[in-house]
Structure 1
């Protein structure tokens, strides 16, 4: 059923306008995510009333029903779905029919009531408070304007929301009965900021947060829609006491059911359980929600919590730059002139302000009756940050120190800047220098990445940070002899103060530094991209027993197994991987390390059985000697000598791929190299065995190979035969033209996907409807045993050929032997 869920979802998504889909935040939930979400529900009661607002194609309701059936505890389910888009109603109804059929087979009563309406409008008019037992949702992400109808409706029922998703969740909470459960995939933006305070209050006061899942990459959840959004999955229960919270994280949304552990997991999933006080500080009036995926991230939060001053305590303010250039076009000047003053844009910022700069942006602004109110005093010292950072930048917050050295009494700061000031004037030099160090520290950057969740740094976010006291900032400022210092020097100044404040001199950034260094080494050793990740870096460090504070010259060569490696990572680097990720460590990191000569497998007993619990790994001695020189002047030469004697794994893999390519020589002498694999081998068999026997002398028009970057395609020749194709993906795997009979032979090569069934027959008929040649449909299988899986699906009026019996054909037409209809 999961494949059917996904098929319906993709078909529904295809009918939507991509531009409008983005504007509305209308992204349908992939079945892998839906299955994981459904698995989080704790109580599948005998009688369920399920709410799915913004249901789209119905994939979440389907995932819920499938989970419910698997648990075998429910007698009936009444499903209530809402969606405003009439173009996808047919897809949703198709999904509900599948649910109904599945429930009927399993003795469960299923009913669905679908409302083609705006959920916020409908829910405000209906009396459903406390009605639902379960809610599963992926609400739309569109912002709500203060003047919008939605804002007014929500305010009338006591809900303050700035985004549709928070409005949807707030309404759903009201509609849940006590002990009812909610699972939602929503943006992380509600976790901080004043705009979502009302929503956070309702969530925290009404619900018990049980589970939170974080996606480590912003494009994981809805990658096919190119959505760059920090999403989380949250599971809550209404009206029960708050206990510990389970936090999981994964870099990808590739959830799958692990039969060994009986739970849904994902590649490199981590897991931790924390007290609620670690997520929401009881003294925080704003109720900010801090989600740390691992102990190392938690340590960053805890370390920064040593600072407790607010900007108000420091007699400081931070504001968005007041000059909105398009509103003051007449006053903008490319260069300074009489009556004009400097205007600072992001392009002028580095460690200090570099002005003027030759660019398309102006360097000055004329002081007029229109602009004067937006200009500040050019005295004292300012600290400036950019409001926008790209995802590629190493740091989110980068501060610039400006000491009012430019020649004027006034100065303009453009709107894409955040400026720290005191009543629109600069502040004390030492205080500003200390603030410059603090904002540029790696600790603040790491904290903000957890806390902010986006690349736009708003003044509101900067106000929400905790800051060192004025005395501490000034003391740090005295240590800044020059502005252009290195990142490590900046961090050292802050670390020195933190170590005085805290007896436990444990710095979580030391762990991150070691991970970064390990990744650097793996890259230089030529490991493929698939092994240049944190899992592989931590495995590499475990093989060296290199803890965060230890230097590289003190590495070791322990013999260590997979589970001990994972335990070592948890104990020394604060990252607890789910137990069912052991095979990922083994198959996607350690196997490649062994192939690359980085480590040895069972060096103490090479004949040890593969499944032995004593299986172990050890860093190779040759590499060990080289790694001891890392971060020294001898490193580059030692690495160069090592690499000159050893092929990198990337090169070796490339050579192996070339060796495994399947050569195919066509009748005209053209050589095509197909990628290795069962599918490509079957395609070769079609060309070399099927073709000469059943369509001798046929011309190859198209050949698709799943592993090749470029398919063989005579597009113009196909157009001469009356067929114009825009998307190659719709073509069958092989297309042959047999001129002797004037037939086009359409062949599907089946090793993983299905044969020419009724639907595929119709699709191909439509695609080739203008063909001047007759059409023959063929399904090819590697052998008759494999064909048996698909016999009931094969369409009539088609042919079947198997590579293990190349001289025979099976006819699913009953009238003709290999001929068009």
Structure 2
């Protein structure tokens, strides 16, 4: 069902009016996200009533239905769907028809209703008049995002049922919560903005009182989930229950969710996972009930550290406001040159640690003071702290503060609208207090804290009001230590961390700050080594740190050069850098970092035994001697020269190590073309026999789509061909050793080469069925052995409905009641 809705999603996106799409937040959910969301429901059984408000074409309902038909003990299934877009109706009907068919053939009673109505207006009316006949057992949604005016119809309708909120998405969630049955479950993808700030307090209060949060998934990188959405999204799974349990927090850099056969879960590349008490998500003493989503132990340390600061700006008698000058409204009174009655106008371009004004460029430096502008100008007295409202995606810090001491010789000053200004009644603050605030806002800890609930690149005054602040005396102590405004972030972090230690007795500088510094060091090294952009990320940085055994408190000249496998690398990241990756992300480490490091001459593969088979559990990696010596010189005067020499030698290094690896490689040729090079070993020899002898005898018209661990016929090359056959090939680690496709028979041959483990037994048969279940081609399951002696070890494990082929007797096939019986005598 999901495959149908994904095709329709792409069609409908092209039909929607872009302006209307933006106004109503019509951002339809991609298939992988739908599948992940549907997989989060803990139980689906008995009589199931599903609500899908803002359903679009029904992608989420289809994914839920795909999950439901895999469950046992489902008696009936009813779907209630809402949308206000008439264009989607025929596509929704198509989705519901598919759901009815799939449930019907499984004996599940099905009922559905599509409401071309406004969900909030319709359901709140039913709720207020007590006309809700039966609550829902499950809710799945991707609600629209749109601010609600205080007098809007939606706001008034929600108030009538006791809901106070400021956005359509939170209104959808709150209303659906009230429509849920006791112990009912809800999964939604929504902006992260509800986690903090006074505007969403009533919504947080309702959500936390009426449901228990079971899981939250966050996306590390902005704009990766929906192409057109700026907000940072989270996926939240709640249960209508007061029973508190552990909260599972997962994260991923992107939304490339796929089914992992080993864990039987939907996962994403580089997914992290941790379980925490609810008190770690919402501090019981926090009256605002902010929701903190710490995806790693390191992030949790940040939350815990700043929880010692409990003051608000109101407590400190400090205000923060958006700059009052909206330049396009007073364009006639702006100037690049001084004129009579002109005063300074500050833009983001004027900001650094201090204000640099005037500054040549496109932005005017002056605003003329007159009756049109006077109300927008402030007193040029005291010390202001200024924060840019917008940060670029590439900018290292989200919050960047500037100290301004009113040194310009004018009575008034203008702050442009893209600035946030800390002040007291439109005048500057006490100098020492302002310097303390400047230091605190520029600290790495506060920036890390803000990123955990800052939903986008924009830093609003509202966000800054929501932050915790040190008390007045602490801010002044920080200010007294900031003698020089050009302090480095490291120096500022030291000052702030000393204050935290004085209050809590906890030293954090040796943990969070040094971890962050070492990761940034490693990322910088990878950039200077000119690795591809896809490898410039935290996973690759941590891999480099692990393989050099570089501890957060260590120095680069003390690094080591051990041999490590993928699992020990991931464990090292968890223990020393507090980053716990999900076990099923091993392939991302291997194929998206380690392979590229080997190709770049940074690592050598299996240095202790180059002949080790590629699927050996003892496979390992080690820094090349040249890379090791280079890394030892990082942050020294020798680095630049050593880096230059390494890059000059890199092509010959890569060639040399490649030649060493290739000396014993098993080369596979077909039709006078090399289609693969495999690591030496019996397993690789058997794969070669499959390509040459099995195909000749049993699949002569087939083409080789995939050979495990080869560049020529690897997963990337196979994806497009398999997609044409209805198969989404995402996870290399779960693919069979060889895939052949016979277009004449329309058969896919899924072949496992077995020398020491891994026949197509019952478990592997089920795995392959799930992986290739959507294939439009017939499936032939084959276990290949080098000889009869090896086969006899596994004979009892081989699954029915499969075939067995033996390399030393290549013209015969042993048939285990498979439905693709191949008669070798009459084969044509």
TM-score category of the 2 structures, normalised to the smaller one: 0.7 to 0.9
Which structure 2 segments of 5+ residues have no match?
660-673, 677-718, 727-740, 749-774, 779-828
Q: Could you tell me which of 432, 454, 458 is aligned with 2:434? A: 432
Give the Cα–Cα distance (whole angstroms) in 1 for the partners of residues 555 and 583 of structure 2.
30
Q: 1:427 to 1:109 in 2, by over 3 A?
A: same
Paired residue for 1:253?
255
Paired residue for 2:238?
236
Using the TM superposition, give the Cα deviation of residue 653 of structure 1 relative to its aligned residue in structure 2, in angstroms: 14
Paired residue for 1:193?
197
Which deviations, in whole Å up to 9, do the C-alpha atoms of 1:466-485 show, x marking residues without a partner? 22233333333233333233
Q: Does 1:380 align with 2:405?
A: no
Q: Could you tell me which of 477, 480, 495 is aligned with 1:475? A: 477
Paired residue for 1:124?
124
Paired residue for 1:311?
313
Identify which range, 473-482 or 629-638, moves more after superposition.
473-482
Per the alignment, in what secondary structure is the counterpart of residue 521 of structure 2? helix
Q: Could you tell me which of 697, 720, 744 is aligned with 1:784? A: 744
Contact persistence 1:206–1:238 (CA under 8 A): yes
Counterparts of 1:559-638 in structure 2 under 5 Å? 559-638=563-642
Contact persistence 1:341–1:411 (CA under 8 A): yes
Using the TM superposition, give the Cα deviation of residue 548 of structure 1 relative to its aligned residue in structure 2, in angstroms: 0.9
Using the TM superposition, give the Cα deviation of residue 458 of structure 1 relative to its aligned residue in structure 2, in angstroms: 1.2
Q: Could you tell me which of 555, 559, 564 is aligned with 1:555? A: 559
Contact persistence 1:250–1:269 (CA under 8 A): yes
Using the TM superposition, give the Cα deviation of residue 359 of structure 1 relative to its aligned residue in structure 2, in angstroms: 4.4
Q: 1:526 to 1:345 in 2, by over 3 A?
A: closer
Number of aligned residue pairs = 678
Q: Could you tell me which of 342, 345, 348 is aligned with 1:343? A: 345
Paired residue for 2:507?
504
Using the TM superposition, give the Cα deviation of residue 360 of structure 1 relative to its aligned residue in structure 2, in angstroms: 4.7
Per the alignment, in what secondary structure is the counterpart of residue 170 of structure 1? helix
Using the TM superposition, give the Cα deviation of residue 331 of structure 1 relative to its aligned residue in structure 2, in angstroms: 4.8
Q: Could you tell me which of 174, 177, 183 is aligned with 1:179? A: 183
Q: Could you tell me which of 146, 149, 174 is aligned with 1:142? A: 146
Using the TM superposition, give the Cα deviation of residue 266 of structure 1 relative to its aligned residue in structure 2, in angstroms: 0.9
Which deviations, in whole Å up to 9, do the C-alpha atoms of 1:710-769 show, x marking residues without a partner? xxxxxxxxxxxxxxxxxxxxxxxxxxxxxxxxxxxxxxx99445599xxxxxxxxxxxxx
Per the alignment, in what secondary structure is the counterpart of residue 312 of structure 1? helix
Per the alignment, in what secondary structure is the counterpart of residue 315 of structure 2? coil
Give the Cα–Cα distance (whole angstroms) in 1 for the partners of residues 57 and 600 of structure 2.
46
Per the alignment, in what secondary structure is the counterpart of residue 507 of structure 1? helix
Identify which range, 363-372 or 408-417, moves more after superposition.
363-372
Q: Does 1:227 align with 2:229?
A: yes
Using the TM superposition, give the Cα deviation of residue 39 of structure 1 relative to its aligned residue in structure 2, in angstroms: 0.8
Per the alignment, in what secondary structure is the counterpart of residue 313 of structure 2? coil
Using the TM superposition, give the Cα deviation of residue 609 of structure 1 relative to its aligned residue in structure 2, in angstroms: 3.8
Q: Does 1:528 align with 2:488?
A: no
Contact persistence 1:55–1:81 (CA under 8 A): yes
Contact persistence 1:526–1:649 (CA under 8 A): no
Identify which range, 121-130 or 197-206, moves more after superposition.
121-130
Which deviations, in whole Å up to 9, do the C-alpha atoms of 1:624-678 show, x marking residues without a partner? 12211111111111222222222289999999xxxxxxxxxxxxxxxxxxx999x
Per the alignment, in what secondary structure is the counterpart of residue 645 of structure 1? helix
Q: 1:580 to 1:378 in 2, by over 3 A?
A: same
Counterparts of 1:84-99 in structure 2 under 5 Å? 84-99=84-99
Which deviations, in whole Å up to 9, do the C-alpha atoms of 1:130-152 show, x marking residues without a partner? 61111000111122222321112
Q: Does 1:363 align with 2:372?
A: no
Give the Cα–Cα distance (whole angstroms) in 1 for the partners of residues 237 and 150 of structure 2.
29
Per the alignment, in what secondary structure is the counterpart of residue 247 of structure 1? strand
Identify which range, 126-135 or 641-650, moves more after superposition.
641-650
The root-mean-square deviation of aligned C-alpha atoms, in Å, is: 2.9
Per the alignment, in what secondary structure is the counterpart of residue 587 of structure 1? helix
Give the Cα–Cα distance (whole angstroms) in 2 for the partners of residues 462 and 133 of structure 1.
39
Contact persistence 1:214–1:233 (CA under 8 A): yes
Using the TM superposition, give the Cα deviation of residue 446 of structure 1 relative to its aligned residue in structure 2, in angstroms: 1.8
Paired residue for 2:547?
543
Using the TM superposition, give the Cα deviation of residue 503 of structure 1 relative to its aligned residue in structure 2, in angstroms: 3.7
Give the Cα–Cα distance (whole angstroms) in 2 for the partners of residues 94 and 229 of structure 1.
31
Give the Cα–Cα distance (whole angstroms) in 2 for the partners of residues 44 and 80 of structure 1.
16
Which deviations, in whole Å up to 9, do the C-alpha atoms of 1:59-94 show, x marking residues without a partner? 111111110111222111111001111111000000
Contact persistence 2:604–2:657 (CA under 8 A): no
Q: 1:272 to 1:406 in 2, by over 3 A?
A: same
Using the TM superposition, give the Cα deviation of residue 790 of structure 1 relative to its aligned residue in structure 2, in angstroms: 6.4
Contact persistence 1:751–1:782 (CA under 8 A): no
Q: 1:178 to 1:538 in 2, by over 3 A?
A: same
Paired residue for 2:685?
none
Give the Cα–Cα distance (whole angstroms) in 1 for the partners of residues 528 and 364 of structure 2.
43
Which deviations, in whole Å up to 9, do the C-alpha atoms of 1:563-622 show, x marking residues without a partner? 121111111111111111122222222233233332233333333343333332222223
Using the TM superposition, give the Cα deviation of residue 286 of structure 1 relative to its aligned residue in structure 2, in angstroms: 1.0
Which deviations, in whole Å up to 9, do the C-alpha atoms of 1:490-547 show, x marking residues without a partner? 3333344444443434331211211121122223333322322211211111111111
Q: 1:167 to 1:650 in 2, by over 3 A?
A: farther
Give the Cα–Cα distance (whole angstroms) in 2 for the partners of residues 615 and 58 of structure 1.
45
Using the TM superposition, give the Cα deviation of residue 262 of structure 1 relative to its aligned residue in structure 2, in angstroms: 1.1
Give the Cα–Cα distance (whole angstroms) in 1 for the partners of residues 603 and 288 of structure 2.
50
Paired residue for 2:800?
none
Q: 1:392 to 1:641 in 2, by over 3 A?
A: closer
Give the Cα–Cα distance (whole angstroms) in 2 for the partners of residues 320 and 50 of structure 1.
44
Paired residue for 1:37?
37
Contact persistence 2:312–2:465 (CA under 8 A): yes
Give the Cα–Cα distance (whole angstroms) in 2 for the partners of residues 459 and 791 of structure 1.
58
Using the TM superposition, give the Cα deviation of residue 119 of structure 1 relative to its aligned residue in structure 2, in angstroms: 0.6
Give the Cα–Cα distance (whole angstroms) in 2 for the partners of residues 357 and 104 of structure 1.
72
Q: 1:240 to 1:497 in 2, by over 3 A?
A: closer
Per the alignment, in what secondary structure is the counterpart of residue 243 of structure 1? coil
Give the Cα–Cα distance (whole angstroms) in 1 for the partners of residues 145 and 427 of structure 2.
39
Paired residue for 2:324?
322
Per the alignment, in what secondary structure is the counterpart of residue 212 of structure 2? strand
Give the Cα–Cα distance (whole angstroms) in 2 for the partners of residues 545 and 753 of structure 1.
41
Identify which range, 26-35 or 405-414, moves more after superposition.
405-414
Per the alignment, in what secondary structure is the counterpart of residue 213 of structure 2? strand
Contact persistence 1:129–1:177 (CA under 8 A): no
Paired residue for 1:417?
419
